[in-house]
């Protein structure tokens, strides 16, 4: 794939899946905007790695759950680069995939759901509201929203997290139907358990083994496994795809 001359904005890109996606785009020549919330040093390191890989990288702080912060960030990017070709909504509210310490359905408060909905759907909405007008002027653009294969097969009922990601799937499909006429495509990538990430560090070996046993490709995904499908959806190779979800979980959901 060739992303020379393309501007790619990845939220939550200072570590884990977001960092892997940023590096993969840079390796194909993209100018990658590395959004982060708190860890400036890690984001700057990812941006430097993007440059070393042959693309360009720019770390920009911004709270994606704040509408004003999102607008400032996008305005800054467009002022510097003149456009945004691809946006990957990867940031989400921190969550630990720990089945033994998860909250059960009858223990949850609405505020627990609201926090995850804000982290997944509210943040994506603010980003899309800021970026779609730019993509409309360009008559092209690709938006990729990161969800989870748990929306299809909740092997562990992480209620608040799964509910938020399912809502994001619905949001993405409706947005795809709305903006397709402007040459803007909206798709989702749904990873299974990805290790190592901050969210999966507390996942017990027993659960990993159960997932591996039920996965045709017989392993758990790494962050680098996720970047290829994201780039495919951002590229001209998928130019007639919108409103779709790619499950990247080794066949766990099929």
Note the pLDDT tens digit of each residue in 151-185.
Answer: 999 999 999 999 999 999 999 999 999 999 999 99
CB atoms within 10 A of CB 190: 22
Predicted local confidence at residue 199, as pLDDT = 67
107 exposed, middle or buried (CB, 10 Å; 0-12, 13-18, 19+)?
Answer: exposed
At 104-123, the pLDDT tens digits run: 999 999 999 999 999 999 99
227: pLDDT strictly greater than 80: yes
Q: Can 161 be counted among the known catalytic residues?
A: yes
Asked if residue 208 lies in contact with residue 99, where contact means CB atoms within 8 angstroms, the answer is no
Instruction: Report pLDDT digits (tens) over 7-26.
Output: 999 999 999 999 999 999 99
User: CA nearest 185: which of 134, 234, 133?
Assistant: 234
Burial per residue of 117-155, b for 16 or more beta-carbon CB atoms within 10 angstroms, e otherwise: bbbbbbbbbbbbebbbebbeeeeebbbbbbbbbbbbeeb
The answer to whether residues 161 and 203 touch, using CB atoms and an 8 Å cutoff, is: no
The stretch 67-96 carries a mean pLDDT of: 95
**Which top CATH class is 7-248?**
alpha beta
Closest by CA position to 228, among listed 125, 88, 60, 43: 88
Report, as an integer, the average pLDDT of 31-55: 97
- Whether pTM > 0.85 for this model: the answer is yes
Query: Catalytic one among 36, 126, 158, 161?
Result: 161
Considering the chain, what is the average pLDDT of its residues? 95
């Amino acid at each position: 794939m060739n992303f020379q001359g393309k501007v790619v904005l990845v939220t939550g890109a200072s570590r884990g899946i977001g960092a892997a996606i940023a590096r993969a785009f840079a390796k194909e020549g993209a100018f990658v905007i590395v959004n982060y919330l708190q860890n400036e040093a890690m984001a700057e390191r990812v941006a430097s790695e993007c440059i070393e890989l042959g693309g360009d990288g720019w770390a920009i702080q911004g709270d994606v759950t704040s509408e004003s912060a999102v607008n400032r960030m996008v305005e800054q990017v467009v002022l510097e680069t003149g456009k945004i070709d691809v946006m990957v909504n990867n940031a989400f509210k921190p969550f630990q995939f720990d089945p033994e310490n998860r909250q059960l359905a009858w223990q949850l408060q609405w505020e627990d759901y609201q926090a995850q909905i804000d982290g997944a759907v509210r943040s994506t909405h603010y980003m899309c509201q800021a970026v779609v007008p730019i993509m409309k002027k360009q008559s092209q653009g690709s938006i990729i929203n990161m969800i989870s294969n748990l929306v299809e097969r909740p092997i562990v009922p992480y209620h608040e997290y799964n509910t938020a990601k399912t809502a994001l799937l619905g949001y993405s499909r409706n947005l795809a139907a709305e903006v397709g006429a402007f040459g803007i495509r909206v798709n989702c990538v749904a990873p299974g358990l990805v290790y190592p990430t901050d969210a999966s560090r507390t996942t017990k070996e027993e659960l990993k083994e159960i997932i591996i046993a039920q996965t045709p490709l017989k392993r758990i995904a790494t962050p680098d496994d996720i970047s290829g499908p994201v780039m495919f959806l951002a590229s001209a190779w998928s130019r007639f795809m919108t409103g779709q979800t790619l499950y990247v979980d080794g066949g766990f959901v099929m």
